[in-house]
Chain A
Amino acid sequence: MMRFLLPAGVFAALALVLFIGVQRAPEKSVIPSALIGQPAPQFELPILGTNDGFNNASLQGQWYLLNVWGTWCPECVNEHQMLLEIARSQVLPMIGLNWKDEDAAAQRWLTQLGDPYDVVAVDRDGRVAIDWGVYGAPETFLINDRGLVEYKHVGAMTLNVWREQFLTRIPRAPPATGGER
């Protein structure tokens, strides 16, 4: 009675295809950063609110964070408290990349919510963001003392992400910052 087994056989083949599909599905939505382990792209941009320029080559030899943000980005509001906590912990310098924003709005934002950044570089036309492979805000990069991209977090920074993904990568991590859950 083979013909009654046929549906089960067809289904088994289908399940196999679906299995491969699911295996590949993460690849469709999450692209592992080719930047990780690569030298961080260099940039020279104006510093927010000044006439000076900032070149990230000046940070050569030390660990730092690069946080991509904009006042048009609602999720950036949500991560702001966490960024302030990180800044307060003084683990490493944090560079803000103000992406496709208006200077006045960005300055108002930092006055109202507090300024976690050591330097805010202004990427008005978004070219630096392209070099860094940025698709949306917020994104946070961790750059090591050899100038290589160590890690990249996509989406809002949270206490868990900070503790588990960033602090564990930074050598001689000091005790975790406050803010208990």
Chain B
Amino acid sequence: MIVELGHFALILSLMAAIFTAFFGLLGAHLNRAEWMAVVRPSTYAQFTLVSLALLALGYAFVQNDFSVLYVATNSNSALPVFYRVSAIWGGHEGSLLLWLWILVAWSTAVALLSQGLPASFTARVLGVLGIIAIGFMLFTLATSSPFERLLPAPPDGRDLNPLLQDPALAVHPPMLYAGYVGFAVAFAFACAAMLEGRLDQTWARWTRPWTTIAWAFLSVGIALGSWWAYYELGWGGYWFWDPVENASFMPWLVGTALIHSLAVTEKRGLFKSWTLLLAILAFSLSLLGTFLVRSGVLVSVHSFAADPERGMFILAFLVLIIGGALTLYAWRAPLLRSAAGFEFTARESFLLFNNILLVIAAAAVFAGTMAPLISDALGLGTLSVGRQYFDPVFLLPTLPLLALAAVGIHSGWKKGRLSDRSRAIWVTMIVSLALMLALVLGAWDGPKLLTPLAFALGIWLVLSALIDPWERWRRGLSLTPAIIGMALAHAALGLFVLSITAVESYTRERDLALAVGEAGTVGEFEYRLVGMETVEGPNYDALRAEVLVYENGDLVGTLHPEKRNYWVQRSVMTEAGIDMQWTRDIFAALGEDLGAGRWSVRAQVRPLINYVWFAAFLMALGGVIAAADRRYRRKDTSA
């Protein structure tokens, strides 16, 4: 009964969304205040109704109602309650409902916090968001309802995919979707501005905090996904350039460009049409990601079961939304004029290059992701693009980007007055160059030319980002959230570069064949298998190894990798044993029985790897702090 109520609530929410879109867009167009007045309440109604639907599904999961097909396919009575809740988004249908809920949550947040904006503008923003909601509600109801019944009910469910029975992955989709969908707000602001013909700097200021928050969510979501892949897929990699990973990374790159170009548009009224285009692009790439994951055109670890009917539906929706926005853009953007000029060393030009390089990087990822699809569509054969392509092509635009960032954060608007900071820039650059020289001359066994270069860039960026807040603090000047956030995010980027360089350059790894009592060496480390035992979990049994790791004779870690056998799905899972330390991860994964009492063991020691994710979280935190700046909360609407 509750489940049917949930289904009914979802149908009602579709009505509310149609209301919002109709009265919002048409009311603003005809300038009817009483029509526009409907928009806020109907947005709240969407939120309430979709929340009810989500709660109903959650109730079915917690109560183990296996007469619901979706529950029967994604849960089991032996599944712990926490995972029964996260199983709501463990499959296609439920994760779509979550997507939808996050969308209406964003709309509601906009409705609540946009009291200072002109009524017609708010009506248009919420109207555009309403159209997006209609599309996804129709999609859910028509092709992917999670409320379908399965009668007679099976005695028990088929269980959640064991790969998904993990805390990080329980939080990963909500975070990722919050980012993806958050770009819908920037998209809606851009569309509303174009419809309204209000293409001045104010819309940039209104859009900025929303975009930054969405970007922060997306950063955390991607980092969690990568962390999960690292310890749960079992083989120690943390980024695979998998199509689905790329699908989340492309909006992130374009979103990063958007944050920066919004700054220029807000402060200086430049790059207006470019900023609009980026806002459309960021959300378009999010939609494209949703399409790639759910249509079955690309197969990956993360994708859902293929269904061409769903693919066709999203494609039609994609064409409607993106095509519509780009047409609107082609019509409105020519009206924009940027009169102001700027000097070559001004902040504007640094941010221009930032944008160009980020978009090139996104385009390179895009080309690699789409190449198999295009080659297939043109009948040129089946090909695959791996890290041999992505690594160099991605580094090409990003390395200069880092150097530009280190200098650029000290540049001033309009006039390039680097002089008052030039000493600091020189000092930090010399420190990092010295480090690079030390590396090259062999203070460390630098394996590649890239290693010292990337280390130097990383250090330079960290130091350079921290100069400004430090100087201000020393002189007793005010430190606004915007300044702290920006410094933190850029220093975090430097930390990210440092840690990734360390991981890529100094990882020790080897596959070993070990019997109990035997040891193998991995670089200066020794892995000794000391025991094997059988253990039992709530819905699996496992073979558990005990591995002691020695460095130059000293015990540095004790690992317990497992080979789990999940009963219901009858699938075997590798649970890596990881000892997280301040400076490195010591890692072992148990492979298969090799016969003769031996087991294969994948042994890895990865320095600084946890700082990769930590840096991503810091970056996101920087974004949140910057978005909390007071000036975004001023009510005036003048430019």
Contacts and interface: CB of A to CB of B under 8 A. Distances in A.
Complex contact flag A–B (Cβ < 8 Å): yes
Interface of A: 1, 4-5, 7-8, 11-12, 14-15, 17-26, 28-29, 72, 74-75, 78, 181
Given A22-B295, A22-B311, A29 B330 contact: no
Report which residue of A18, A23, A24, A26 has the largest number of chain B beta carbons within 10 angstroms of its beta carbon: A18
A1 to B, nearest CB: 4
A18 B568 contact: no
Contacts of B373: 17-18, 21
Contacts of A4: 273, 329-330, 333-334
Interface in B376-405: 376-377
B374 A28 contact: no
Contacts of B334: 1, 4
Contacts of B162: none
A79 to B, nearest CB: 11
Report which residue of A11, A19, A24 has the largest number of chain B beta carbons within 10 angstroms of its beta carbon: A11
B270 to A, nearest CB: 17
Nearest to A26: B308
Given A22-B315, A29-B296, A74-B158, A15 B329 contact: no
Report which residue of A7, A28, A72, A78 has the largest number of chain B beta carbons within 10 angstroms of its beta carbon: A7
A22 B281 CA distance: 22
A94 B431 CA distance: 80
Given A17-B377, A22-B312, A28 B296 contact: yes
B75 to A, nearest CB: 14
A78 B273 CA distance: 58
Given A25-B297, A28-B296, A15 B323 contact: yes
Contacts of A24: 297, 376-377
B306 A29 contact: yes
Contacts of A74: 158, 568-570
Contacts of A12: 323
B299 A28 contact: yes
A12 B327 CA distance: 11
The 6 closest A-B pairs by CB, nearest first: A20-B377, A21-B297, A8-B326, A1-B334, A22-B311, A29-B306
A29 B334 CA distance: 45
Contacts of B311: 21-22, 25
Given A11-B322, A22-B312, A26-B308, A17 B370 contact: yes
The A contact surface, by secondary structure, is helix
B374 A17 contact: yes
30 contacts: A4-B333, A4-B334, A5-B330, A7-B277, A7-B280, A7-B329, A7-B330, A8-B326, A8-B329, A11-B322, A11-B326, A15-B323, A17-B370, A17-B373, A18-B291, A18-B297, A18-B315, A18-B373, A21-B297, A22-B297, A22-B311, A24-B297, A25-B297, A25-B308, A25-B311, A26-B296, A28-B299, A28-B306, A74-B570, A181-B151
Contacts of B237: none
Interface in B253-302: 273, 277, 280-281, 284, 291, 295-297, 299
A130 to B, nearest CB: 21
Contacts of B151: 181
B323 A8 contact: yes
Interface residues of B, number: 37
A20 B308 CA distance: 11
A11 B324 CA distance: 11
A90 to B, nearest CB: 23
Given A29-B296, A74-B568, A74-B570, A22 B308 contact: yes
B332 to A, nearest CB: 9
Contacts of A19: 315
A78 B154 contact: yes
A19 B154 CA distance: 38
Contacts of A7: 277, 280-281, 326, 329-330
Given A11-B323, A78-B154, A1 B570 contact: no
A19 B330 CA distance: 23
Contacts of B158: 74-75
A181 B67 CA distance: 13
Contacts of B319: 15
A24 B378 CA distance: 11
A4 B332 CA distance: 9
B318 interface: yes
Contacts of B315: 15, 18-19, 22
Contacts of A15: 315, 318-319, 323
A78 B150 CA distance: 11
Given A17-B370, A72-B570, A8 B312 contact: no
A26 B318 contact: no
B291 A25 contact: no
A4 B280 CA distance: 13
A72 B284 CA distance: 44
Given A8-B329, A15-B319, A19-B315, 10 more contacts: A4-B329, A4-B334, A7-B330, A8-B326, A11-B322, A12-B323, A17-B373, A18-B291, A25-B308, A74-B158
Contacts of B374: 17
A1 B296 CA distance: 37
B338 to A, nearest CB: 14
A149 B246 CA distance: 43
A19 B376 CA distance: 12
A20 B370 CA distance: 13
Interface string B558-584: 000000000011100000000000000
A82 to B, nearest CB: 10
B572 to A, nearest CB: 13
Report which residue of A12, A22, A72 has the largest number of chain B beta carbons within 10 angstroms of its beta carbon: A22
Interface string B328-367: 0110011000000000000000000000000000000000
Contacts of A1: 330, 333-334
Contacts of B333: 1, 4
B295 A25 contact: yes
A7 B327 CA distance: 9
A11 B281 CA distance: 10
Contacts of A78: 154
Contacts of A17: 370, 373-374, 377
A12 to B, nearest CB: 7
A8 B376 contact: no
A24 B315 CA distance: 14
Contact of A8 (B305, B318, B327, B377): B327
